[in-house]
A and B are shown apart, each in its own frame.
Chain A
Amino acid sequence: MSETLPVPSAPPAPARRVSGVPIRLEHVTKRYPGQDRPAVDDVTLDIAAGETVMFVGPSGCGKTTLLKMINRLIEPTSGRIHLGDEDVTNQDPDRLRRRIGYVIQAGGLFPHMMVATNIGMVPRMLGWEKQRVTERIDELLDLVGLDPEQYRDRYPKELSGGQQQRVGVARALAADPPVLLMDEPFGAVDPITRQRLQDELLRIQDELGKTIVCVTHDFDEAVKLGDRIVVFDVGARIVQYDTPEAILAAPAEEYVADFVGAGATLKQLTLTRVNSLHLRPVTTASVGDDAADAVARARAAGDDFVVVLDRRGRPISWPTLAEVSRMAAIPATVDEKLPVVGLGSTLNDALDTMLAASQGGAVVLGRRDSLAGVVTIEMIMDAIQRTRQETAG
């Protein structure tokens, strides 16, 4: 099997910030005691710095085992593991792990510690000064889209599942590790929350450029998040290691084709992202603004609704002009059903979100949850039509 040294094809997206380091697994094998077949059988894998690599494959094929051998939560039976240009196979595992972020399902937060304590754990172990740790905690909460003032002193049980997972990501990023390992991080949350968390991760990764290795059961998630996907079979045999586009276009084996599933048009929905559409600009108003003025501006722009932004510039509702004209000032009410997608969301996600909210459009968030525009169902239909025509002729 050692000949399957995978050579990734096409280079990743053009220059973005990279703070990660490459990972190299060399002939790594894991044999659990009392089992005749190795769970991971002689795997060699190169992961480039700053890339997100998704592990997919059937249950029990060794994805988790392989992932945990990178931070040596599981010791390999044989083989070498390199991080950057260091061979870490025999390094002190505790010190190694402080340089590798680790995110598990449902966050794995310590329930008896407040959010801030959870996040500050690794920095404190590394001996950071108090002040620096405190600043870092707030910075990270902000990064994962949670207001530090509001969430810092909560206990995990006072957070929703999605929020817990965000804190889990923040905790993993606390000491700015170059590598992030994730084992089905979004497996335990509902589909809408999962999609938001995925968007969030894309945005964070866009900012940070870590090397991320992420196990998932969901091929669509792999397509959405991954710069590359590794498709495994039993014994962690690498069946295909390539970009999502390449795997979708040319599955290496029938096995992969089965795994990929679904029709060609629908693939477009998972391959095309909201940021590739020409988003519609919209009329915005801030909380407390004069309502009549907002209505006038919307009319002038030809909009029949207004997107309301809170004091941090994040959209909180989108009342119709009829509704706005009944008010004196723009209210601070948060519309909990406001359909929201990220720039990195796939068209598939966007459609899901609209359907879930029974609306014909969704608000698109850019960096740090600021408003990037609006996407409508018509725009998505157009995009599908266009690619169809392109592929047809």
Chain B
Amino acid sequence: MTTATPSARGVAAGDARDEAAPAQPGTEAAGTAPGGWRALVVQPLLVAVGLLAFLLWRANATLTDTEARQLGTATLWDSALRHLSLTVVSAAIVLLISIPLGIALTRPALRRLTPAVIGVANVGQAAPAIGLFVLLATWLGFGFWTTIVALVVYSALPVLRNTMVGIQGVDPRLVEAGRGMGMSGTAVLFRVELPLAGPVMLAGARTALVLLVGTATLATFINGGGLGVLINTGITLSLNSLLISGAVLVALLALAVDWLGRVVEHVARPKGL
């Protein structure tokens, strides 16, 4: 023994022979991209500014009687609420159907069906939304619930697909490790697969919500109500103020819903990923 190492580079005493640990414990684990939180702050500001601008314009613009009636606070509020309820109700139904279906389709027994289901869903998605609305209306009649059915059919795909993709994306070795240590299939699903698929599934839900806010404007054509009424009236009567108001409000609503979704994704993201 001649050369002994110089006791180089100061590292706090603790673990003599451990391979250098890469990260500090307790560092921010939620892996949002740099600037991710900034987007989370900027987006609601944009929405607020947009809303403020709209309200200022509304208060100061000189409007015809028709315009004033359509843009009256009560009417606007009703349309917006209606629009939101169309969105929320159909989203809830979509989640209730698509998530369990997506989970079922990733179970070993049904896995064979996955490509077929995705194929069918893709076709549904590719069909023009307005066509779907009209088709369903001629079959089910006009109104709120027909709109809901159309919206559900139209927006089920992102949730379904992301549920399946999210679960399929979980490292199969983790599932094997879970089963190998004696967890039941259900336990592995709820404690390993779903938490790890969560971010992808939530992204799917957010996509569906934004899609719904936009598509719900078509409800007006089958007497479903919502902010689409403004746009439709604006087009029919060539009143740009109505048309633009409707479009702006829908866009603001979509942005707000998207932001809410992002916040949920940020908060619900499993730590440690």
Beta-carbon contact of B182 and A104 below 8 Å: no
Residues of A within 8 Å of B123, CB to CB, are none
Q: Which of B3, B11, B14 has the most CB of A within 10 A?
A: B14
Cα separation A336 to B2 with both chains bound (whole Å): 19
Q: How big is chain A's contact interface, by range?
A: 35 or more
Residues of A within 8 Å of B195, CB to CB, are 112
A274 to B: closest C-beta gap in Å: 15
Cα separation A321 to B27 with both chains bound (whole Å): 40
| In the assembled complex, A111 has its CB within 8 A of some CB on chain B | yes
- Do A110 and B182 form a contact, CB below 8 Å, given A104-B173, A155-B29, A360-B3? no
CB contacts under 8 Å to B, within A145-197, are 145-147, 150, 153-163, 171-172, 181, 193, 196
Residue from the list A73, A196, A331 in contact with B179, Cβ < 8 A: A73
| In the assembled complex, B132 has its CB within 8 A of some CB on chain A | no
Interface string of A102-117 (1 = CB under 8 A from B): 1011101111111000
Interface string of B233-273 (1 = CB under 8 A from A): 00000000000000000000000000000000000001111
Residues of A within 8 Å of B12, CB to CB, are 332, 334
Residues of B within 8 Å of A171, CB to CB, are 181
- Do A158 and B181 form a contact, CB below 8 Å, given A110-B174, A323-B7, A338-B5? no
A231 to B: closest C-beta gap in Å: 25
Residue from the list A97, A145, A156, A334 in contact with B180, Cβ < 8 A: A97
Cα separation A181 to B182 with both chains bound (whole Å): 13
Residues of B within 8 Å of A252, CB to CB, are none
Residues of B within 8 Å of A156, CB to CB, are 272
| In the assembled complex, A236 has its CB within 8 A of some CB on chain B | no
Beta-carbon contact of B6 and A323 below 8 Å: yes
Q: How big is chain B's contact interface, by range?
A: 35 or more
| In the assembled complex, B18 has its CB within 8 A of some CB on chain A | yes
Residue from the list A158, A287, A361, A376 in contact with B13, Cβ < 8 A: A287
A335 to B: closest C-beta gap in Å: 5
B67 to A: closest C-beta gap in Å: 53
Cα separation A357 to B8 with both chains bound (whole Å): 13
Beta-carbon contact of A154 and B17 below 8 Å: no
- Do A338 and B16 form a contact, CB below 8 Å, given A155-B272, A317-B7? yes
- Do A333 and B11 form a contact, CB below 8 Å, given A113-B272, A121-B183? yes
A242 to B: closest C-beta gap in Å: 29
Beta-carbon contact of A104 and B3 below 8 Å: no
| In the assembled complex, A380 has its CB within 8 A of some CB on chain B | no
Beta-carbon contact of A304 and B1 below 8 Å: yes
Beta-carbon contact of A158 and B22 below 8 Å: yes
CB contacts under 8 Å to A, within B30-78, are none
**Inter-chain contact total with CB atoms closer than 8 Å:** 175
Beta-carbon contact of A336 and B20 below 8 Å: yes
- Do A331 and B176 form a contact, CB below 8 Å, given A111-B196, A155-B272? no
Residues of A within 8 Å of B29, CB to CB, are 155
Cα separation A121 to B25 with both chains bound (whole Å): 21
Cα separation A283 to B178 with both chains bound (whole Å): 47
Q: Which residue of A lies closest to B184 (CB)?
A: A94
* 3 closest A-B pairs by CB: A155-B272, A108-B177, A332-B13
A-B contact pairs, 23 of them (CB 8 A): A94-B182, A104-B180, A110-B178, A111-B273, A112-B272, A125-B182, A146-B15, A158-B272, A159-B22, A160-B21, A163-B21, A310-B16, A314-B16, A316-B13, A318-B7, A319-B4, A319-B5, A319-B7, A323-B4, A335-B5, A336-B9, A338-B5, A365-B17
What is the interface of chain A, defined by CB distance below 8 A to chain B? 71, 73, 94-99, 101-102, 104-106, 108-114, 121-122, 125, 145-147, 150, 153-163, 171-172, 181, 193, 196, 287, 304-305, 308, 310-311, 314-320, 323, 331-338, 340, 357, 359-361, 365, 369, 374, 376
Additional A-B contact list (17), CB under 8 Å, known A150-B15, A305-B4: A94-B184, A111-B272, A112-B272, A145-B18, A147-B15, A154-B25, A157-B23, A158-B27, A162-B18, A172-B181, A193-B19, A311-B13, A317-B7, A318-B4, A323-B4, A333-B8, A337-B5
